[in-house]
Chains A and B, each alone.
Chain A
Amino acid sequence: MKATSPVDAGKRRTTLLLAGLAVGMFAFGFALVPLYNLICQATGLQSVAVRSNGGPGAVRTGGTVVDNTREVVVKFDTSVHPNLPWEFAATQQRLQVVPGQMYEVIFKARNRSSSQVVGQAIPSIVPWQATPYFNKLECFCFNRQLLEGGESTDMPLRFVVSPDLPEGINSLTLAYSFLKLDEDAAPNRTNAISSATAVKSATPKGKSDVSTGT
């Protein structure tokens, strides 16, 4: 294409500019990869790894920041509803924790009856103001628990106390109460929970079913 007339020169210039813009936007897509992390870190918008000062509704985990200047006491309390024939207790009654660091505590449960029983643990935190800052990474309370007659099990809890925990709180209590899930009495609720569990446990299997095709 020879640029002979002014119109042709104009066409040529516009075409090149626009082609450059398209290529530039393609590059911009890739530039977003590092930019995305930078923006999220700078503004605390969101990233899976780092979430910090959000608003009141945001989840506060503190991420990887460890605040070594503070120590907080976490106490564990357990109770079992009378309808559940189980023993349930934490292996530790209390733990000194550094905010931002991860801890693991084992809870023991034993089925005293001779038949299969399904239970569900319900957590609560005192004082309640600390609830958004107590982040459970793994908890037996996420799923229902099934114990055969006479079976006993060790159940782990992994948690991080966020460094954003308000200054006034130096001690908090995590209380679990274990309830029996009665399949007949509350069918809807049981179904909802069991289907949620089924999805979770099916994920690794589903993953292997999906061939990568490579």
Chain B
Amino acid sequence: MSTTTMTHDEAHHHGAPTGWKRWLYSTNHKDIGTLYLLFALVMLFLGGASAMMIRAELFMPGIQLIDPDLYNNLVTNHALLMIFGAVMPAAAGLANWMIPLMIGAPDMALPRMNNLSFWILPAAATMLILSFVVPFFPGGGTQINTGWTIYPPLSVQVGMSMDFLIFAIHLLGVSSVLASINIIVTLLNMRAPGMTLMKMPMFCWTWLVTAFLLILVVPVLAGGVTMLLFDRHFGTSFFDAAGGGDPVLFQHLFWFFGHPEVYILLLPSIGVLSHVIPTFARKPLFGYRSMVGAMLAVATIGMVVWAHHQYTIGMSLGAVTYFMVGTILISIPVGLMVFNFIATMWRGAMTFETPMLFAVGIILMFTFGGLSGVMLAVVPADMQYHDSMFVVAHFHYVLMPGAVFGLFAGVFYWLPKWTGNMYDERLGKLFFWINVIGFNITFFPQHFLGLAGMPRRIIDYNVMFTEFNVLSSIGAMIFGLSHLLFLYIVIQTIRGGKSLKRSGAKSWEGAKGLEWEVDSPPAFHTWETAPQIK
């Protein structure tokens, strides 16, 4: 990066700077939030394109469009692009935009670090895309055919694209740790006078917990992939049984990160729901304190049950029993959250604008995914379901509603605030219905495929699975294409125009909170004098 002569003061207390410098040098939480969200949108389409290719190949049994290594590379990329590229940055974008507005702070606590943590992302995404592109060139080595879990010994044998991936993971990790530090420092030090922790909006609470989880687990993954790098190039044998290592150790390191990661993806969306549902039910959130407690319980238990992803590695009965009981315990606080949301809606004056439609959809479908999660947590059952399409159906039912639909709800909820324009409600509802129907056609049949024995991550399948796969692929095309409508709605709302209503400071009748007291769109600098909270 070039050394800049622009000092902090020049950009301060004026309007937005113009041109590319506004974005590259930005220290403004709103601009960085926008950058995060746009980056996530681009990655959503890249990850979606990989998913479309996977489903196109699985439309029929046999190998038609791509070869097996490329297929496995697409599976790997789909996961990494969606998790690290789309969901985490989108949640960070919401955090950047909304946390300072919600707690009455002028900006994030560490604006320059904020800039750094965003601008590492495009570099990391480039590395990730290079890891996919490199094998197409002579001497580029083999494709990453390991899946996103990159288990050794296979990941030690993959060509140089694995090195690109390892460094991409390092960069992504640095970015999210920096962003998390920034969020925690902001939340702990910059709340408006009078706003105690227990008066903090729920979205801020969910992000406080998420950020702590990130700081606790992402460095462990970074350590794990660093060991992998050493095993590949420097002759160590952390994971090589011939040299005294143990490949299973990598699985522990990976899932020590990987399981809390699930809650990292989920919690910000729970935060969004805690604002959307009270707004459209026109009732305050039921059980604020119990929500906070449940969330802390989920995060704590979620840190110590990682090996339920590894039941089949041959642990002793005592160990699998512990991991099973711990995993099933998580359903208690999660169930509490769901009941709190239902109690919030109970006898409320509900209206069903797009964010609320997504919220209700999440409660139904996420609970369904949670239920299949309890099935998978039970050891003897999981021995059968392990690595089958049932697992694929399960985690898409928790991650799509639990994370992505929550982000959609958040975007529709706050888009009028960000842009000053109301989105087209008719199109929003249309998007919701196409999206949700497409989602269910795609993933519901995969439960049956898994129970009938179709393995995941394999390009070809027995002809007996054809019908459900055809159905799933057709659903996937509907689901995938529906996001073009989302893109259209977002662009239309940003551009504004006569067809759209303007949004006042308070975009929704039932909305409560500091973020609705600033203009829509908010001025470049807001809350320069902190509001007083009673």
Contacts and interface: CB of A to CB of B under 8 A. Distances in A.
B219 A211 contact: no
A210 B216 CA distance: 35
A46 B248 contact: yes
A30 B219 CA distance: 10
Given A14-B185, A19-B181, A46 B233 contact: no
B109 A11 contact: yes
A22 B219 contact: yes
A66 interface: no
Given A11-B185, A18-B181, A25 B316 contact: no
Contacts, number: 129
Given A48-B248, A55-B318, A213-B162, A15 B181 contact: yes
B253 A211 contact: no
Interface string A99-138: 0000000000000000000000000000000000000000
Contacts of A54: 316-318
A55 B227 contact: no
B142, B185, B188: residue with the most chain A Cβ atoms closer than 10 Å: B185
A212 B232 contact: yes
State the main secondary structure of chain B at its contact with A.
helix
A44 interface: yes
Interface string B207-242: 000000001111111111011000011000010010
B374 interface: no
B496 interface: no
Contacts of B525: none
A15 B181 CA distance: 6
B495 to A, nearest CB: 38
Given A15-B185, A210-B157, A28 B315 contact: no
Nearest to A29: B223
Contacts of B313: 46
Contact of B219 (A7, A26, A44): A26
A187 interface: no
Interface residues of A, number: 42
Interface stretch (A56-64, A78-86, A140-148): A56-64
Contacts of B158: 210, 213
B160 interface: yes
Given A22-B181, A25-B217, A25-B219, A45 B249 contact: no
A96 B190 CA distance: 76
A24 B247 CA distance: 24
B227 A25 contact: no
B348 interface: no
Given A28-B220, A54-B317, A213-B142, A22 B215 contact: yes
A62 to B, nearest CB: 15
B185 A47 contact: no
Contacts of B232: 212, 214
A132 B404 CA distance: 47
Contacts of A211: 141-142, 159
Contacts of B252: 32, 36
B141, B160, B215, B223: residue with the most chain A Cβ atoms closer than 10 Å: B223
Per CB-CB distance, the 9 closest pairs between chain A and chain B, nearest first, are A29-B223, A55-B317, A213-B159, A213-B141, A26-B219, A54-B316, A25-B219, A213-B160, A29-B220
Interface of B: 109-110, 141-142, 156-163, 177, 180-181, 184-185, 188-190, 215-224, 226-227, 232-233, 238, 241, 246-249, 252-253, 256, 313-319
Given A46-B314, A55-B316, A58-B317, 15 more contacts: A11-B110, A18-B181, A19-B181, A25-B219, A26-B222, A29-B221, A29-B223, A29-B226, A30-B223, A32-B223, A32-B253, A36-B246, A51-B314, A55-B318, A213-B160
23 contacts: A7-B189, A7-B190, A10-B188, A11-B185, A14-B184, A22-B215, A27-B223, A28-B223, A29-B226, A43-B319, A45-B315, A45-B318, A46-B314, A46-B316, A51-B316, A53-B316, A58-B316, A58-B317, A210-B159, A213-B141, A213-B160, A213-B161, A213-B163
Interface of A: 7, 10-11, 14-15, 18-19, 21-30, 32-33, 36-37, 43-49, 51, 53-59, 207, 210-214
